[in-house]
Structure 1
C-alpha cells in the first residue's frame, strides 16, 4: 500500500543534518510539501530546497535557534504564512558535542542537551499544537535514540536529554490525543549515513556483532519509519517509542 502525503505539509528540524535531509526527501517523495529548518548550514538548506522543488513539491527554508522560544515562534509564523499550515512535525535537531565520562563532561553539555532535546520539544508543541488542535489533526514525531535505553559509559549528557525528551512526548501524547493528534518517537541505532558512504565506514563489526540483525541500519530505514508514523496508516499509534536498531534495544512490557 503506497503512502500518500499529498496535501500535507511537514516541518523537519535539523533538516540539513545526515538524517534530516533523508527524512525531508522521503516525505517529499510521498507527496508532502516541506519546511526545512536549519540553524547554520544555509547552503545545504538551499541545495535541499532545490532538490525537493525539482520533485514538484513546495518547499521553504527557515533559519531558527530551536532552543529559543521566540525563534521557534518565528519559525512557525514563517512556515504557516508560506504553507498555510503544518500537519507533520519531525523534531530531529540536536546540538553536537564531544562525549566523555560524567566526571569529565562539561556542565554546559548537559545544558545543551536539555535545551535541544527537552526544550525543543516543548517549544515546538507550544508553537504548533494549538493550530493542530483547532484542525483536529496532526503528527508530532521526535527523533530519540537507542542510547536512551543503553545508558552506556560516556553517553550521560545525550542520554539525559533524550530521556527527558521521552517524558515530554509521553505526557504530550496523553494531553492532546483527544484532538486527533498523534505523538511518537523514533529511536535510531548507530545509523549508516551519507558521511559513512563517503568515508567507506559503513561496516562496524564491533557494534554489529551485538545487533540481532548483525548489521547497522540505514538513514533510509529511519526515514521510512518516520514516513509511516506521519501517514494515516499510523492513525491509532501514539505515545510510542519505536527503536529502529535491528533489535539492539528492545523495550520491555
Structure 2
C-alpha cells in the first residue's frame, strides 16, 4: 500500500507554523500540489514554497485571516486560479494566546478560539466543499488536540474552541458523506517540533509518565496521521477524532 497524492491539490492553513510546515512537506513529498496559507510570516511562507517547489510540486502562498469569511473566499479564488480545485483541506491555523484560569482569562480569548477553531472550519467548508460535492470526492481534516479530552486547569478557552470545532466536524461528516467526502480530526498530544529540536526540548518527565508509550510524539508523526486520513487508504473513515498522543487520551465507546 502506498500513499500517492499525484494530481491532488491540498490547502493547509497555518502552513508556516511548527506543525503546519511538516504537514505541508509531507503531503508534497507524497505527490500533492500545495496551497500554503499564512497570516503574517511571509518570509517563512516563501521559504517553504521554495522547498516544496524543489520537489517538483506546484505551490501557491496565500495571506488570509481565517477568522473572516471574505478572506477565506479570497483565498479560495487565489488557490483555484493558481493550482486548481482543492481535493484536501487541512484546517491547522489557530490564534495563539496566554493560558490562565477561567476567572482570569480575558473574554476576547474565548472569542478568538471560537473564531479560529469553529468559524475557520465553517468558512473553509463553505468555500471548498461545494466543488468536492461536484467531484464526489474530498478530504476535510481538522487539527484538534488531546486537551479536548483532558479539560485541565487553564485550558478553558482552547478547549471550548476545539470542542466546538469537534461538533462541527461530526455534523459535517454526516451531511456530506453521501458525496464520498470524509471529514476527520487529528488530535495531537504535546508534540516535539522543529523549534524544540533547535532550542532544546522542554522538560517533560511528568507528562511522559502519563503516556503509555513513555515519550512525546513528533511533528512528523502528526503529519503522518494527516496524510493517512487524506489518502485513499482512509476512504471509509469519517467523523473520527483520532488522538496521536501515545495513548495519553483514549476515546471510549
Please name the residue that 1:44 is paired with: 44
Answering whether residue 138 of structure 2 is matched by residue 138 of structure 1, we say: yes
Please name the residue that 1:75 is paired with: 75
- Mapping of residues 1-253 of structure 1, within 5 Å: 1-201=1-201, 204-253=204-253
| TM-score, reference length from structure 2 | 0.99
In 1, distance between residues paired with 2:90 and 2:203? 28
Equivalent position SS for 2:191: coil
Q: How far did 1:83 drift?
A: 1.1
The number of residues matched between the two structures is 253
Q: How far did 1:2 drift?
A: 2.1
In 2, distance between residues paired with 1:15 and 1:3? 21
Q: How far did 1:202 drift?
A: 5.2
Equivalent position SS for 2:115: helix
In 1, distance between residues paired with 2:42 and 2:18? 15
- Whether the aligned pair in 2 keeps the contact of 1:203 and 1:216 (CA below 8 Å) is no
Deviations 1:164-207 (A, max 9, x none): 00000000000000001000000000000001101111551111
In 2, distance between residues paired with 1:209 and 1:199? 23
In 2, distance between residues paired with 1:249 and 1:97? 24
Root-mean-square deviation (Å)? 0.6
In 1, distance between residues paired with 2:105 and 2:202? 28
Structure 1 segments (4+ residues) deviating >3 Å: none
